[in-house]
């Protein structure tokens, strides 16, 4: 049974933290740092060793304060494993029809990855909550602006290469949300237990987003 997904929480702050390749014993502390920093959504990738257990640990630690989802869901098998663990939203690296359809059947929020104009339209038309523009840094803000010309209604989540230096440019170009991995979760900082650093990076990204929305 998947956990409860809060559309209100996601829509108010569509920033998704991406955990990939961390140890099981680090997940609870990472999740607490995310809550402290004000992050609303956390994705654990299914190509991480022990991903289902990490999803369960994040859900237990978050205690309903965040949406906990699964990323890199590339097959029905991975989807089923993620759902059994309690994931409340699904992210894919590409347009994978079988996974998207299964999510739609279960009324589960799905954020498919896409890059080309054709794939972006296919992902949105299939019922995506947002389309993960990946890898975003290949095109940058100018590419986002170009896509928003014919697709003003499509909600884009820039993922890949986004940083504090570039987030404002993406927002001005029309990006609606962000997937953030490295900028929030540097392995050396995590290994050193620098949880305040993690919370601070989240706060900095969040404040840029909030300032843009309220401007």
Q: How confident is the model at residue 149 (pLDDT cuts 50, 70, 90)?
A: very high
pLDDT for the residue numbered 1: 42
pLDDT for the residue numbered 154: 98
Q: Is the per-residue pLDDT at 68 higher than 90?
A: yes
Domain annotation for the chain: domains and CATH numbers? 7-214 (3.20.20.70)
Q: Is the per-residue pLDDT at 113 higher than 70?
A: yes
pLDDT for the residue numbered 4: 87
3-state secondary structure the chain: CCCCCCHHHHHHCCEEEEECCCCHHHHHHHHHHHHHHCCCEEEEECCCCCHHHHHHHHHHHHCCCCEEEEECCCCHHHHHHHHHHCCCCEECCCCCHHHHHHHHHCCCCEECEECCHHHHHHHHHCCCCCEEECCHHHCHHHHHHHHHCCCCCCCEEEECCCCCCCHHHHHHHCCCEEEECCCCCCHHHHHCCCHHHHHHHHHHHHHHHHHHHHC
pLDDT for the residue numbered 2: 52
Q: Is the per-residue pLDDT at 38 higher than 50?
A: yes
CA distance 204 to 206: 5
Per cent of the chain over pLDDT 90 is 98
**Per-residue pLDDT tens digits for 86-112:** 999 999 999 999 999 999 999 999 999
Please state the rounded mean pLDDT for residues 167-191. Answer: 97
Please state the rounded mean pLDDT for residues 121-143. Answer: 97
Please state the rounded mean pLDDT for residues 117-144. Answer: 97
CA distance 71 to 187: 18
As a whole number, the mean pLDDT across the chain is: 96
pTM of the full structure: 0.96
Report, as residue numbers or ranges, the catalytic residues.
43, 132
What CA–CA distances, in Å, run from 84 to 14, 113, 134, 135?
24, 22, 27, 29
């Amino acid at each position: 049974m998947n956990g409860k997904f809060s559309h209100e929480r996601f829509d108010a702050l569509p920033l998704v933290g991406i955990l990939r390749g961390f140890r099981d014993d680090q997940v609870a502390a990472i999740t607490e740092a995310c809550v402290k920093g004000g992050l609303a959504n956390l994705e654990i990738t299914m190509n991480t060793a022990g991903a289902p257990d990490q999803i369960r640990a994040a859900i237990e630690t978050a205690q309903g304060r965040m949406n906990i989802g699964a990323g890199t869901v590339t097959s029905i098998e991975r989807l089923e494993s993620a759902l059994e663990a309690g994931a409340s939203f699904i992210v894919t690296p590409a347009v994978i029809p079988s996974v998207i359809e299964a999510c739609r059947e279960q009324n589960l929020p799905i954020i498919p990855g896409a890059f080309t104009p054709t794939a972006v339209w296919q992902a949105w038309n299939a019922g995506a909550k947002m389309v993960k523009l990946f890898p975003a840094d290949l095109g940058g803000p100018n590419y986002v602006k170009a896509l928003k010309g014919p697709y003003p209604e499509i909600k884009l989540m820039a993922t890949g290469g986004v940083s504090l230096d570039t987030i404002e440019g993406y927002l001005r170009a029309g990006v609606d949300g962000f997937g953030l991995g490295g900028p929030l979760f540097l392995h050396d900082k995590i290994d050193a237990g620098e949880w305040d650093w993690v919370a601070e990076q989240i706060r900095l990204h969040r404040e840029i987003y909030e300032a843009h929305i309220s401007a």
